A and B are shown apart, each in its own frame.
Chain A
Amino acid sequence: MGADVLIPGRDGSAENSRPVDEINGVGVSLESSSACLCLWMGDAASGSATPVIPPGPAIPPAALLPRLRGEPTRGDLFWPPHPRGTGESWPPEARVSSAAGSGRFPLAYAWPVLVSGDDQDRSNRWRWSAGDGTLVTAADAIAAAFEPLVAFVKTRATPHTPPVLVVPDGLHETAQRALIEAITRKGVSVRLLWRPVAAAMVWCTRFAAEMASGARQEGPLGSLLSLHLSLDSYEATILEVVARRHRGEFYLQPARRRPSDSGEHPSPWFPLMHRLAFEVLHPHATDERVWNLLWASPWIATVLSDNRGPGEIYDWPLGPEWDRRRVEPALARVAALVSSESRHLPGTFALWPLNTVGPAEAERWFRGLKSQLSQVPLLGAVVTGLLAAHRSPGGREYGHERLTSLGVLGSRTLIEGADSPNILAHGSALYASRLAEGLPTYLDTLPRLQTVVQRRGVPAWEPLLEQNDRYVEGGRVWRREPNLDGFAIRKGGSELSTALDHGDYETVRDITTPLGTTCTAKQPVSLSVSIDPGQGGARIEILPVDKSMFGRRRVFVEWQRMADTGKTPEQYLERFPRAFPVTAERRSSLVRWQAARPVVELYLSKAKAGILDNPPLVSVVDILKRKDVSQMPQDATAVASDGTTPDASGLLARFVERAASLLAAHQRRGSQSSDKLVRALGYTSTDDPRLLDYLMGRIENFGADLPDYDLVASGNCLRSPAAIERFARAFTARMRRSTVGTNDWLKALAAILRYRSEATEQISSPVCMEVTRYALEVFKSELESANANYRFRNACLIIVYLLRRRAYDEGYLDPDCELAKEAKDAFRTAIRQQERGKLQLIGGSVDLKAALAMMVDYIDRRGSGKILLGV
């Protein structure tokens, strides 16, 4: 490197070459109509961008498919082109046809497919029957076109940073990665840079002094429009311009928001140029000649811009199709004719999916953009692309015309080709040089990426990257601090399942990563997440707390290798394997409440102080405990298990107040409890402290001899983990006596466990195991008598909802322990009996087999869904 670096002159000759001191950055723009290589000479602050002129005029970049086995896919960028796929009749490799395909793959076809994300579709492979059979993707084609530009630089110098390739703003992560991998396979390193950012960096450099004189404060200054008008697409991006100080210098940085969609719109110029070529070749126009003119010659750039044609460089007598004076009227004529109709475009050969639009549709897109821009005050605009400088018959650049029609033409406007040449390649070279010197480049936002983390056994999506669209430094690796924990590999496990929800995709992907070792004990692991913005996605590494676990191996989660689950994040979470079921609260039924309301009002009107039981209270108890059968198997009564009703009038509160006051007064007097009053309060599921104090006292005093009405109230109203723990101890005491005649106890505990999410917090695991053992005993006895009644059902529920203890003790009821096996066997036996018709759950509205199978899954820590047994 150094003085021996030569940049060829315009004619590519060494005589006109000039030496340069140092290449500090390499920028590449691969547009549909031409490629541009820009070198940044000198340091980032005082250096300049120098475009490299190839040995011939630029033709639309294309990839040449391999003809011989072992031949690479190669790029063809300048005139004269390689004969392959030029549409000529000789040699055979030049021929193009619908049947045989083409050995030339123009990037004008490749970019739209890559941006749309259809590149992964196997049907979207460029084909050529005379080739070696290699199917070339859009990413491969772009990589092939990129390679010779880098090879040119490599023969002269070694830049400090990898070459930077400009990519569309909407290029999603998979496409970024596919492109980077395709280029890497060529033995070339690359960095990607968003197209609007490349343009905006040049704009910021150009207007930095002007902007700096106005504002010396750091922070956002306003917005900037980046408009790209090319042969294959239109792209509009609104960027924020942020002022920043770095090492005492004032920098303007473009800040990019993640686009909600690709941000691109098909350009009407693609069909337009096909029809124009057909027109100017008339009367000798054929598909092959149109193809040749478009993709194997510099015709597009020559007729659409002020570039000198090849005839001026070489002594080449050009045909009339090269005469702009003739082409311009034809262009106007063709533009008037072209619409978005989908008839065959001359010269396209039906080789590749095309999304063509007519001018009318493009105008609609501009109108939409205009309305969007009307709400955004802009600092300026930059227009890039081949068409930016295309002079319309009126003599104005198309870019200017468009900005005027959008109402954003101001003084701080930059038009590629008119105000500044090669803006995109220039911007990317500037970016490369700033990266090399560690200077600020641009600000970016990271994509949404989240994974499922189980906190206390409850799975939930947790973001892996920055939240709330916060800006991160572009070109620098962002690392999550601290690592994401909450993962663990259970004892005996040899793999870790990870699910990712990516903002670019609608559905979740998951992967099971083999760890290469079996954990002898539960092994907590964390995820180390880092991402290089715009460089193909996050890097997620699994880090065990025990560093020796993987040895020297490093285990990564790769999005590319993950399997699509086909489920949205919500659906995935519902189906996520759980170690215990979610609580199944009782709902409030409007129908039942409407029925209960007059009864409650009647009680309130007739109840007298000191009288605990009266007929209206009996009616209240009766009406409150009645279920809404229309919602079966969902449990629903007039009052929900959290003590609420669909009524905001406060009637229930008045009832609770009245009843609780009566209960408290009665207690103070030391009288015997009122059966109906306690029951009525119980069915309100109230959390009134007077009732809860009453219940606690009763549990303490009566223990295993708790009367049934207290059990009803306990089951519906107990909430605090401490109270529930006492109740569980009373339950075990009762069960130790006998399991016979304990349905009320079973029902009460099942209700507590189902309704209260914290129910198992203070019940110790041994107590839970004991309770499970008793419940299982009941279950088995009922099973033996083929009696799937309330006891059977309550026993089931107790066993399965006690699994919620795993939120506090992950080792509770290990699937391989004896009790778990016993429970699973019992459930499976029930399933078999049910299949034989020997067992029918009371009520009949529940698929008992499915519910029991679900319970087995929960015991095995792979359950999903709600346990609904219609209790």
Chain B
Amino acid sequence: VLQAGDGGRPCLLTPEQVDEVSADVCLDTLPRLSACIDERGRSWNCFELPSTSRSGVPGPVEEIIHIQFFSRDGRRRWGSVSVAGTLPRPKTEPREYEIEDNEPETTESAGSDDAEGSRWLLAGEKVEELIGRHFDLINSLYDQPVADGWRWEGDVQGMAVRPLGRVLERWGAIGDTGEPRLSLIVSLARELPPILEVLCEHPRHVLGRVRTMQPLDRVQELDGMCLRWLARQPGRRVIEKAGVSQRVLGIARVEVVDTLENRVLRDLMRRAMLACRRYQAEYGHIDHERVRLVREFRHQLRRLLHHSAVAGVRALPGVPRPNYVLQQDSRYRIIWAAYLRLVRQETMLDDAWRWRQRIWVEDCGLAITTVLAELSRPGLARSGDVLLHSEQVAGRFLDPRAVMAGWNYAAPPGSGRVDLLDGRPEAGQLDEHPLVPEGLAALRPDFVAIWMDSHPRGARRVAALWTLLDFDLVEDYLGRRAESIATGLRRLPDASLVRGLLLQPELDGEAAHPVRLTGGIRVDTCRGLRMRLPLQGELDRLRGQLQWALTS
């Protein structure tokens, strides 16, 4: 059992023969971290584990993850690991027809009466918001057309190529807490109401055959079963067999709306209803056009689900294969496209929740880059490419092949250049950059910022940054972690050049916290910083810490 704390980054150490590891809860193979060697000189490979995804529990959760090991010689082994003490996910699946009109849930009303459970759920909701914002950032960058045409933007190998400058601008805008996010449900609330209204009032129907007792003079069609029934009736002639009521079993044609396309329609409305509830829970307290739009959409959905022709349609057991109508009918094609977008987003959210640590890393990376951009003169770094995956790959949206150019650092102590390196092993930047201090890569920082003087062979400073999505709900680990990092840094040959920085999230509502958390801590050459979400509001604090790390 791996105790990950409320956040933590559960990792798996395997003998070096194990080349690849996969888990049953995610599609991608587990990300490999840097290898390590134990006291006895044995080499171990390290893989990052996905986290739990249990929802609706007011406290730490535990989940067993089944794992498959692939060794270099092609052999496979199986095992399981229980990840415990992690954040619960806010309730995701609505009960069937949980569509009674509960008042919109807001963060204030969420959670149980239990204070501790409330904290865990609140933390889970914060993470859900973090992931949601990240999704919105990726989706908006992915979907938005090219800004002005001066610089090429397009798609390559399923990735969107966007200039870093635009990504940073968008990231800044996404963090504006005064403006509700432009989520998918907002888009759907704009696009779908007219077509839903039409389809629910006049859904596509088919003529079904139903065997019923019909007056003799009304019978138009018989099948084998009707004939067999008729044969079994006493009497010689049909009039006699029809009995006193003069009714026989015949086939009647009736209109049926319980078709696949209408089931998809109803499932879309059900899922959209849930998305509306989530959005209102997050932003219900803000008076904004998007919130109003979603609220109205929710009311429409509730009405249609209860009182329209599709109300009695059966539920879908899963995501179906589209039939001809869903693909070719001009009205249902829109429904199918919206349904897929919604399902895709939900699936992505499910996957992303397990890899929330890595999403936190990306969010912190964008915050650090924004701070560096603010501290620098305009330069070619802003024009560089960012490669965005439309779907996360083990929690990674930003492809490591995009390498950021240096920033023309303009803040004290003087002008120079700062190279911000992605510490993920798959990026390989720590190995490739010539000025990364020896041994630093083994400490696996998430980011490394290297400041160089303008003059060739001039002075340099190195800031190594770690990020951890841990609210320290049980205990304040920040100091101990900073101490651990500082110890590691002290062992480096160029220890005097390197400063460490640990970034963790902070939960609002400190008063409800059982332990008094420090907002920041300094241990020797490492500082720990706890930052509120969204990070866009904490850039000033981050700027100060980064300047310290680069110039002290």
Contacts and interface: CB of A to CB of B under 8 A. Distances in A.
A19 interface: no
B161 interface: yes
A765 interface: no
A462 interface: no
Interface string A248-285: 00000000000000000000000000000000000010
B432 A92 contact: yes
20 contacts: A55-B148, A56-B378, A68-B156, A71-B154, A71-B161, A74-B152, A77-B150, A80-B382, A82-B383, A83-B381, A86-B405, A90-B433, A148-B150, A150-B149, A151-B149, A154-B149, A155-B149, A296-B380, A316-B377, A316-B378
B156 to A, nearest CB: 5
A206 B149 CA distance: 33
Contacts of A83: 380-381, 383-384, 405
A90 B154 contact: no
B419 interface: yes
A153 B150 CA distance: 9
Contact of A152 (B148, B382, B387, B419): B148
Contacts of B383: 80-83
Given A69-B157, A71-B161, A94-B380, 11 more contacts: A70-B156, A72-B154, A74-B152, A77-B150, A86-B380, A89-B434, A92-B432, A93-B403, A148-B152, A151-B146, A315-B377
Interface string B86-120: 00000000000000000000000000000000000
B101 to A, nearest CB: 43
Of residues B146, B384, B433, which shows the largest number of chain A Cβ atoms within 10 Å of its Cβ?
A: B384
Contact of B415 (A93, A155, A284, A317): A317
Interface string B309-346: 00000000000000000000000000000000000000
A152 B149 contact: yes
Interface string B372-397: 00000111111111010000000000
Interface string B437-481: 000000000000000000110000000000000000000000000
Interface residues of B, number: 32
B419 A90 contact: yes
A43 to B, nearest CB: 26
A88 B148 CA distance: 27
Interface residues of A, number: 38
Interface of B: 146, 148-152, 154, 156-157, 161, 377-385, 387, 401, 403-406, 415, 419, 432-434, 455-456
Interface in A47-82: 54-56, 68-72, 74-75, 77-78, 80-82
A219 interface: no
Given A55-B148, A70-B157, A91-B405, A80 B380 contact: yes
A94 B405 contact: yes
A71 B149 contact: no
A294 B41 CA distance: 53
A272 to B, nearest CB: 26
A90 B451 CA distance: 13
B381 to A, nearest CB: 7
Contact of B401 (A55, A68, A80, A89): A68
Contacts of A151: 146, 149-150, 152
A315 B376 CA distance: 11
B157 A91 contact: no
Closest 4 CB pairs of A and B: A151-B149, A91-B403, A83-B405, A74-B152
A150 B150 CA distance: 9
B456 A284 contact: yes
A284 B146 CA distance: 39
Interface of A: 54-56, 68-72, 74-75, 77-78, 80-83, 86, 88-94, 147-148, 150-155, 284, 296, 314-317
A90 B415 contact: no
Of residues A91, A155, A314, which shows the largest number of chain B Cβ atoms within 10 Å of its Cβ?
A: A91
Nearest to B381: A83
A106 to B, nearest CB: 16
A327 to B, nearest CB: 20
A75 B153 CA distance: 11
A90 B433 CA distance: 8
Contacts of B382: 80
Nearest to A66: B156
Contact of B403 (A70, A92, A147, A152): A92
Contacts of A80: 378-383
Contacts of B148: 55, 152, 155
A81 B432 contact: no
A15 to B, nearest CB: 15
Nearest to A315: B377
B130 to A, nearest CB: 28
Given A70-B156, A70-B157, A71-B161, A55 B150 contact: yes
Contacts of B385: 82
Contacts of B154: 71-72
A750 B382 CA distance: 87
Nearest to B165: A80
A91 to B, nearest CB: 4
Contact of B150 (A68, A93, A152): A152
Contacts of B432: 92
Nearest to B403: A91
Contact of B405 (A72, A90, A317): A90
A296 B151 CA distance: 15
B426 to A, nearest CB: 15
A69 B151 CA distance: 19
A500 to B, nearest CB: 38
Of residues B157, B378, B403, B405, which shows the largest number of chain A Cβ atoms within 10 Å of its Cβ?
A: B405
A54 B148 CA distance: 10
A369 B415 CA distance: 51
A45 to B, nearest CB: 29
Contact of B406 (A88, A148, A150): A88
Contacts of A316: 377-378
Nearest to A93: B403
Nearest to A37: B150
B155 to A, nearest CB: 8
B406 to A, nearest CB: 6
B377 A88 contact: no
A648 B508 CA distance: 120
B371 to A, nearest CB: 19
A767 B382 CA distance: 89
B415 to A, nearest CB: 7
Contacts of A94: 380, 405
Of residues B148, B406, B455, which shows the largest number of chain A Cβ atoms within 10 Å of its Cβ?
A: B148
A74 B455 CA distance: 32
A788 B404 CA distance: 87
Contacts of A86: 380, 405
Contacts of A296: 380
Contacts of A153: 149
A74 B432 CA distance: 26
A81 B149 contact: no
A151 B148 CA distance: 8
B378 A81 contact: no
Nearest to B157: A70
A91 B404 contact: yes
B147 to A, nearest CB: 8
B423 to A, nearest CB: 15
B435 to A, nearest CB: 9
A72 B455 CA distance: 36
A842 B152 CA distance: 79
B380 A81 contact: yes
A87 to B, nearest CB: 11
Of residues A69, A71, A74, A83, which shows the largest number of chain B Cβ atoms within 10 Å of its Cβ?
A: A83
A252 to B, nearest CB: 35
Contacts of A152: 148-150
A78 B152 CA distance: 13
B384 A68 contact: no
A304 B117 CA distance: 70
B403 to A, nearest CB: 4
Contacts of B405: 83, 86, 88, 90-91, 94
